[in-house]
């Protein structure tokens, strides 16, 4: 074979190899981009759900001594069934437990002070857990300076 034929074959093989590498890189970039988009969408939904959970927790907490707490507890349980998978595991478990304990708290008489205090602390702790569940770095000039 002549030298020109070998040069042509090597050039063709190089072109094919370049195409394969380009396709592989584009596929990897597209897959990474798609994963990032899913994570961003999930993050936005999780933030939204944690905000709803916080609002419901406040409603529960500030109605502990009202007869309407049973309706609030039911509303929170229904919400939990529809949104619990977006909550972080600790908050998910504590939210469910709190929706059951608020009715018990209301029913307890004043003689059960120790149990009542324990239930109150559990319900109060839920607010902190919800906040921690979306503990994100601040967005603003200071955060941007830290990134740089």
- Does a structural domain hold residue 113? yes
CATH number of the domain within which 84 lies: 1.20.120
Mean pLDDT of the chain: 83
Count up the domains in the chain and report the number: 1
- Does a structural domain hold residue 90? yes
- Does a structural domain hold residue 148? no
- Does a structural domain hold residue 9? yes
**pLDDT tens string 103-126:** 888 788 777 888 888 989 999 999
Domain that holds residue 49: 3-135
Torsional sign, CA 125, 69, 95, 49: negative
Residue 77 confidence class, pLDDT cut points 50, 70, 90: very high
Cα(134)–Cα(132) distance, integer angstroms: 5
CA contacts within 13 A on the Cβ side of 49: 20
- Does a structural domain hold residue 34? yes
Pick the residue with more confidence: 87 or 37? Answer: 87
**pLDDT tens string 41-73:** 568 888 899 999 999 999 999 998 888 999 999
From start to end of the chain, where are the E strands? none
Share of the chain above pLDDT 70, in %: 84
């Amino acid at each position: 074979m002549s030298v020109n034929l070998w040069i042509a074959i090597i050039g063709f093989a190089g072109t094919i190899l370049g195409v394969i590498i380009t396709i592989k890189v584009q596929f990897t970039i597209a897959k990474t981009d798609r994963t990032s988009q899913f994570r961003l969408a999930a993050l936005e939904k999780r933030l939204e759900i944690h905000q709803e959970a916080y609002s419901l927790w406040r409603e529960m907490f500030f109605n502990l001594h009202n007869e309407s707490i049973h309706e609030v507890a039911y509303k929170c349980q229904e919400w939990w069934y529809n949104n619990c998978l977006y909550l972080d595991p600790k908050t998910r478990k504590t939210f469910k437990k709190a929706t059951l304990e608020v009715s018990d708290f209301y029913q307890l008489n004043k003689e059960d002070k120790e149990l009542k205090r324990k239930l109150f602390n559990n319900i109060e702790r839920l607010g902190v857990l919800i906040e921690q569940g979306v503990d994100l770095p601040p967005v603003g000039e200071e955060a941007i300076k830290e990134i740089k």
